[in-house]
Structure 1
Amino acid sequence: MKTVLVSVSALALGAAAAHAGGVERSTQSVGILFEKGTYVEFSLGSVSPHVSGTQATPIYAPPPAPAGTIAVPAGSSTGNMTDSYVTYSLGFKTALSKNVDVALVLDEPIGADVTYPSGTGYAYAGSTGKISSKAVTAMLRYKLPSNVSLYGGIRGETASGSVSIPLLSNYTMSTNDSTEFGYLVGVAYEKPEIALRVALTYNSEIKHTFDVSENGGPSLPFSTTVPQSVNLEFQTGVAPKTLVFGSVRWREWKAFDITPVGYNMATGGSLVSYDNNTITYTLGIGRKFNEHWSGAVQLGYEKSNGGFAGNLGPTDGYTSVGAGVTYTQDKVKVTMGVSYVMIGDAQTENPSLPGTALSNFTNNHATAFGIKVGYNF
């Protein structure tokens, strides 16, 4: 049963890497805390998204141009506005005593890689956006009687971003690296004889304040909150060598807002914001085939909320399917997984005609490949 669990984590890597909700690239799983003894793992994911649409309405030129003057006509294709990217995580766990475990995880909690192709005739052609991050999370778990354990930790997170929008008089913005801290707390219950484990985790928000350059010059600082989340992770044996697993993850994306001062003065709005929080569901089944091989399949779902999506993130919910296999030899476990994500259709808002759709993004998808290598000392 133990080797099946590794497939679970690899599938989670693939699905999370292609996550369509917000700018999330890590599910902040605490699964490493439950590995036996001393353990180290390295995960790598490669994600190839395809997100494109068609401009549905024209953009009108602002005054002093005559009313009704069309600056950008409708009908152009956006081209694929998402870049492929690689994400990673590195984890180490050890037992300090019979009842105390500690773990250290390095990962990329949020990210974005947006490039609208130039020369398409689309309103946002040539626009780019990038969010980079890295985080180090230190966790401690204490085992209580009756198979209950409590855990908590501190997360240090560094983030930065940049954007370029030719449509807005060649607007540019970039930030410094901001490092701030948050925390996590949780409780878990286990019943080893049936491979049952349920873990409930709260991750705090982390508020960053950035020094900013807009249009090549210094601007006033602004703040962005990387939102809080609640994770419910579960697994249980349902038959010999067979495991059912899944998770429910809530995240307060309505708290995430990027509003540089100069951009807000020019447009009256936010560069990036979300109207809805998200709940993401995963459910899968794993099977141990023999001493060396195990496998799993997993489904993922995040509902579409409707309304307008941002021009730098025109997606709305998703459905995913994934599969993975694990090979175990002595103390080494190697897992490979693949996920296919069907991204929900979305509309973006026309900046010159508020309340109307600028573009329709439909029939989009992403493919993610993941590999994890784990070693028990």
Structure 2
Amino acid sequence: MKHLIRGSAALLISAAPLTAGGIERAPQSLAALFEAGNYAELSFGGADPRVKGTDAAGFSTGDVAQGYGFVGLAYKHQFNENLSGAIIIEQPFGADISYAPFDDGGSMLLGGTSATVDSTTFTALARWRFDNNFSVHGGIRGSKASGEVTLDGAAYGGPLPTGLSGYNVKLDDSWGVGYVVGGAYEIPDIAARISLTYNSSIEHDFDTTENILAGTSTTTVKTPQSVTLEGQTGIAADTLLFGSIRWVKWSEFKVRPLAFSSDPSRADGLVSLENTTTYTLGVGRKFTENWSGSVSLVYEPSGDDMVSPLAPTNGRKGITLAAIYTMDNIKISTGINYSKLGDASPQTSDTERARMRDSEVWGVGVRIGYSF
């Protein structure tokens, strides 16, 4: 029973990634570090969001959130009874937002506005288990990120150079380094574990090109720090209860290229986000020696309805169903998630520019794990 939770929780992470607050697509889980013995895994899948609305002038925004795929790798090595280590590669942050241009049947106020963000993180971890069921873990996280944003439409105050309509900025690939630290307590007899992990912010210095200015500059951006509390416990024979609480400090995520940092009226930069807290609760059940399953719920409370056009959702409620097949040392987890995304009102200059209603996302994920 103590291994059942791994397949369930891992699938939750990989099958429910979209807009978990800000531009987060995966919660930077360290679950592989808690696997028994030596362990390797490959995860992959995709998400298909639907985020549509109508601008304040009555024109459709089109489906502004584009589908995407994802892949992850992890390797955990048990050096001795107390010491283990892991390497995890994942894509925690990303965005692919595009408002249909006005001359293509889209929004008059926001048509042509778009944002693309790509990131990959590489985490090296170590874990030390004490003899009293406590353990500590920590490590270094390196992050590579890039992005491009275009602002367009009447909501941005007319065309360049007097307004920002038509503004484009490119943030070239940049590396940053942060750290991870945490601890856990386990009761193996009832498959119980509770862990607390802190992820530091990571600072990137992007080489930046803006079409409103000549030459290049440097834009400093911090990805947000976060705290994750995760727990699991057996509640009956072959049955586990699991859950998590995750807090992310999105308010420190500011993107202020030179054209914004030099103008007090643009102090918020390209995007302004609220801090988020996400709750997960689920039950896993072992049906046979080979088959297990789980169902889990995720809830992220909505905040202020007025949001950035580049992150046009507000909270979410979702459900994930997962099936886990185990054969000898191989475990294959497959699942599907549906999430209802909260209604939101993209704004510029503190003025509502559109209303996004009835947004949703479907996600599927597969995770293949091998213990040796």
Asked if the contact 1:157–1:181 (Cα under 8 Å) also holds between the matched residues in 2, the reply is yes
Q: How has the CA–CA distance of structure 1 residues 286 and 121 changed in structure 2, closer, same or farther, with 3 Å as cutoff? A: closer
Instruction: Return the offset for 1:308.
Output: 1.4
Unpaired runs of at least 5, structure 1 = 57-73
Question: Are 1:252 and 2:252 an aligned pair?
Answer: no
| Structure 1 equivalent of residue 211 of structure 2 | 215
Q: Distance in 2 between the 1:238 and 1:169 partners?
A: 57
Q: Distance in 1 between the 2:19 and 2:168 partners?
A: 27
Asked if the contact 2:335–2:366 (Cα under 8 Å) also holds between the matched residues in 1, the reply is yes
| Structure 2 equivalent of residue 65 of structure 1 | none
Instruction: Return the offset for 1:263.
Output: 4.5
Matched to 2:193, the amino acid is R
Asked if the contact 2:113–2:151 (Cα under 8 Å) also holds between the matched residues in 1, the reply is yes
Provide the secondary structure at the position in 1 that maps to 2:14: helix
Using structure 2 for the length normalisation, give the TM-score: 0.92
Unpaired runs of at least 5, structure 2 = 154-163
Aligned-pair identity (%): 41
Question: Are 1:144 and 2:144 an aligned pair?
Answer: no
Provide the secondary structure at the position in 2 that maps to 1:262: helix
Matched to 1:139, the amino acid is L
Asked if the contact 2:6–2:31 (Cα under 8 Å) also holds between the matched residues in 1, the reply is no
| Structure 1 equivalent of residue 118 of structure 2 | 132
Q: Distance in 2 between the 1:47 and 1:260 partners?
A: 30
| Structure 2 equivalent of residue 360 of structure 1 | 355
| Structure 2 equivalent of residue 75 of structure 1 | 58
Aligned residue among 201, 206, 216 for 1:205: 201
> Could you tell which deviates more after superposition, 326-335 or 255-264?
255-264
Instruction: Return the offset for 1:372.
Output: 0.3
Q: How has the CA–CA distance of structure 1 residues 308 and 219 changed in structure 2, closer, same or farther, with 3 Å as cutoff? A: farther
Question: Are 1:224 and 2:209 an aligned pair?
Answer: no
Q: Distance in 2 between the 1:298 and 1:19 partners?
A: 18
Residues 338-369 of structure 1 show CA distances to partners (whole Å, capped at 9, x for unaligned) of 110100011122x4xx4331111111000000
Q: Distance in 1 between the 2:223 and 2:69 partners?
A: 21
| Structure 1 equivalent of residue 341 of structure 2 | 343
Q: Distance in 1 between the 2:64 and 2:48 partners?
A: 11
Residues 240-275 of structure 1 show CA distances to partners (whole Å, capped at 9, x for unaligned) of 00000010000100000111122455772511121x
Aligned residue among 151, 158, 163 for 2:144: 158
Q: Distance in 2 between the 1:194 and 1:120 partners?
A: 59
Provide the secondary structure at the position in 1 that maps to 2:353: strand
Asked if the contact 1:287–1:295 (Cα under 8 Å) also holds between the matched residues in 2, the reply is yes
Question: Are 1:14 and 2:15 an aligned pair?
Answer: yes
Residues 146-168 of structure 1 show CA distances to partners (whole Å, capped at 9, x for unaligned) of 10001111000011100123333
Matched to 1:97, the amino acid is N
| Structure 2 equivalent of residue 328 of structure 1 | 326
Q: How has the CA–CA distance of structure 1 residues 201 and 103 changed in structure 2, closer, same or farther, with 3 Å as cutoff? A: same
Aligned residue among 279, 282, 292 for 1:281: 279
Matched to 2:19, the amino acid is H
Q: Distance in 2 between the 1:306 and 1:83 partners?
A: 23
CA root-mean-square deviation: 1.5
Question: Are 1:373 and 2:368 an aligned pair?
Answer: yes
Q: Distance in 2 between the 1:194 and 1:330 partners?
A: 23
Q: Distance in 2 between the 1:100 and 1:369 partners?
A: 34
Instruction: Return the offset for 1:120.
Output: 2.4
Instruction: Return the offset for 1:190.
Output: 0.4
